[in-house]
Structures are given as structure tokens and as C-alpha cells.
Structure 1
Amino acid sequence: MLRNVLLVVVAAVMLWLALNVRLPSLSELRGGIEDLGAWAPLAFIALYAVVALTPIPVTIMAVAGGLLFGVPLGTVLSMVGVVTGCVGAYWMARGLGRETVMRALGSHREIVEDRLEGGGFYAVCTLRLMPGIPFWPVNYGSGALAIPFREFLLATALSALPGQVSLIAIGAFVASPSVPAGAVVVVSWIVVIALTIASFRRWRATRASAPTSHDAGPGVPDQGPVRD
């Protein structure tokens, strides 16, 4: 009963955020964060983490990171923010339980269960890198399906990095057009494509050889799925 109530509350909040919360434009975001002075980096991380908890796309935050802080610092701040939000969503899902979260995923449920059920490091990487799949279903699905936390964390950091760098470089290029910033965009997307192909092949091979076990991650012991 309690989980059903929590499901209604979580679904209502996420729907309201998706439909009613409008992220500021890049210029508005830049002005607001710059006004915070020395607190700007921490404010950016906090805002990014909150956005990553919701169905709101994280793209504008990554671009804003490059616009505000440049590629090196923007990458660090964006990665801290997005990973913090992803981790928060993961543990929220662990608390809510599998059935509650799966219902909340809506149209994303089928692909999340197909890719993450009995999966691990490579499953998270594959789904995280797939075009058209937002961050939030992967975060909540990983927690609900009991992907080992260390595998989830490492896969999230590795698979999110090249895409984040490309968006940050776009922001930096907008702020100050340059050949290096453009080159970073191109190289990072090449890395995204290469990682997507490699992760998918590894995930498929692992599932074929051991369909009921977690695919091999970086030395993390197997854990069973959450049971409601």
C-alpha cells in the first residue's frame, strides 16, 4: 500500500516537472549562475544533480557548463553534477522497489527491463549510450533491477563522459569559437560511437553465454534482483 502511494506521488511529481518546469535559456542560466560569483560552481553542480533526477533533459546543463566554465572545468563540474543526480535516482529506486519503479517508467519499461534484467556494467553502458534513451529511466531502472552499485557508478561515469564532453565543447564553442573546441566535439562523438558498438557487442556476447547472470563488470560480485 505504501509503495503504491509513493508511486502515485513520484509519478505525479515527475509529470509535473516534465510539463511545467521550464529550464531557463542559456543566456538566462549563464547570467543567473555568474551572479553567484564564487558559489557559481557549487550552484551549477546542485542544479545539474536536481535536473538529472527528473525527466528534464540534461543537455542544456552540459552545454551551459561549457558556456560558463570552458571545457576542462565545465567537464569536471558537469560530471560531478550528472553522476550525483544519477546516483540519487539509483538509490531512490532501490528504496521504492522494482514494481513501483517499473510502473513509473511507462513506455521505457520494456527496453529497460530487456537490457538491464540480469545485467551489469556493459548493460548500463549500452543503454546509457543508446540514442533516444534519456538518463532517468536508466538510473531508476538500474536501481530497481538491482544492478550492483559499483558497476552502475563506473558504467555511468565512463559512458556519460564522452557525450558530456561533446556538449560542453559545443557550449565552449558558442562562447568562444575555436578550432580546438570544434575538434573536441568531433573526437568525443567518435568515442561515443565506438563505445556504443563495443558495449553492445560485449553485452550481447555476455548475455548469450550467461543469460541469467550479471554481465562481467570491473570485479564486482553478483547480486540478485530486488524483490518486492
Structure 2
Amino acid sequence: MSDEPQPTHHEEHRRGSLPWGSLLRNGLLVVVLLIMLWLGFNVRLPSVGELQAEIEELGWVGVVAFLALYAAVAMTPIPVTIMAVTGGLLFGVIIGSVLSVAGVLVGCWGAYWLARGLGRRTVLKLLGEHARKVETNLQGAGFQAVCTLRLMPGFPYWPVNYGSGAFGIGQRTFLTASLVSTVPGQVSLVAVGAFIAHPGVLSGIIVACAWAVVLIMTAWAYRAWKGTSSRKLPGS
């Protein structure tokens, strides 16, 4: 007879039970991936003119519709540029900027909490080609890292949103960094829309100032973040 301890009834039941949590997460991953792929390759946002006409027809309800649509777009890989420009066309620089910033932040926040629910491993699969960059830059990072990725030219919003939720960035840090880093870019795009609707010197100045702020903030965030990273290195 073997001296090895025999597994208890509870252990045998646990070994034979299905990993429902893993199955649920993998199933949810498949659903999210399919939705995002379908949106990325098959959904085309209307042109700025078409979107403007459709929202104007809704009257005051158009404000709510604009916010909801902006938030939904911000949760997907679809670029939010057309939404911000349309905000400027419809509502002007001030109101358009407020609505655009609110819409993009709601969408980013929603993606952040979706990632918290999916978990780190699932989000890594979801991020695809962006996974390594996001994990390297956000793992154990904070305010400066979120700002840097958010301000990085050509880098989309959605990997930052999902990565922040998956890699433990605090909610307050994420929202604060997102607000600080998205305002200049959103204002500049809204100003472009306002300039198209009503060309003027003021709109041009706002665009130039907003992009100058984006460049300054990018340089600041990058230097601050690299300085924080170097202080964490052993022996530094």
C-alpha cells in the first residue's frame, strides 16, 4: 500500500469541477474581441457634415446623443477625432470642448472598469500588438505614465484605458491624468471644428495654443516619468 496521502473527497470534487471563472472570462474576451474587431473594420462614422446634420435634427436631445455617442466611440478603437471636430461645428469652442472632454472621459472610464472586470491576462490578449508597450509603461506606474501614453502622438486612447484598468492604475490617478492630458488635444480639435464653421483669428489662436500645450505637456510628462523610472532602478 502506498504511503502517499490519498486525496480527500473535497479535493477530488475541486479537481473535477469546471473552472467557471476562467470559462466566463474567456467567453467574455471572445465577445469583446468580436465586437471591437467588427466595430474597427466594419463601422464607419458618418462624415462631419452628416453627423452635424443628424445631431442638429434632434434638437436639445442632440446634446445627450452626442455625449452618448462620444462615450461609446471612446471605448472602441475608432478614432475620436471626428467627434471632437463635430463638437466644435455644432456647439462652438467652449460648449463643444466641455461636451467633448466629458464624452471622452466617460468612455475612457467605462473602458477602465471593463478592463478591471476582464482581468490582466484577458486584457493582454485584447490589446494585441499594443500589449507589450502598455504593460511595460503602465506596470507599477502612475500619473506621469498615463499622461505620457495619452499624449504620445499616434498612440490611440483605448489601449491606455484598458491597460490602466488591468495593470492596477488607481481610479483617481487614471481620471486625473486622463483629464489633464486630454483637455488640450480635445480643445484643439474642437477649435478646428469651430474654425470650419466660423473662420476667425480667435479659433486659430486657440488651436495653436492648445497644440503648444500638448507639446509642452508631452515633454514634461516624459521627462518626469523617465526620472521616476530611473529612481526605481537597483543601485540608482
TM-score by length of 1: 0.91
Counterpart in 1 of 2:40?
18
Task: Say whether residues 1:198 and 2:224 are aligned partners.
Answer: no
- 1:176 maps to amino acid: H
1:33 aligned to 44, 52, 55, which one? 55
Q: RCO greater where, 1 or 2, for CA within 8 Å and sep 6 or more?
A: 1
Task: Say whether residues 1:107 and 2:129 are aligned partners.
Answer: yes
Counterpart in 2 of 1:158?
180
CA deviations over 1:29-69 (Å, ceiling 9, x no partner): 00000011111111111110000011100000000000110
Equivalent-residue separation in structure 1 for 2:173 and 2:227 (angstroms)? 18
Q: Offset at 1:160? A: 0.3
CA deviations over 1:70-109 (Å, ceiling 9, x no partner): 0000000001100000000000000000000011101111
The answer for unaligned runs of 5 or more in structure 2 is 1-22
Q: Offset at 1:192? A: 0.2
1:61 aligned to 56, 78, 83, which one? 83
Q: Report if aligned partners of 1:118, 1:211 keep a CA contact under 8 Å in 2.
A: no
Q: Offset at 1:210? A: 2.5
- 1:174 maps to amino acid: I
RMSD: 1.0
Counterpart in 2 of 1:221?
none
Counterpart in 2 of 1:48?
70
Q: Offset at 1:211? A: 5.3
- 1:129 maps to amino acid: L
Task: Say whether residues 1:180 and 2:211 are aligned partners.
Answer: no
Q: Offset at 1:14? A: 0.2
TM-score by length of 2: 0.88
Equivalent-residue separation in structure 2 for 1:130 and 1:38 (angstroms)? 35
- 1:108 maps to amino acid: H
SS in 1 for 2:140: coil
The alignment-based identity, stated in percent, is: 59
**Matched residue count:** 212
CA deviations over 1:145-175 (Å, ceiling 9, x no partner): 0100000000000000000001000000000
1:81 aligned to 68, 92, 103, which one? 103
Structure exhibiting the larger radius of gyration computed from Cα positions: 2
Task: Say whether residues 1:139 and 2:167 are aligned partners.
Answer: no
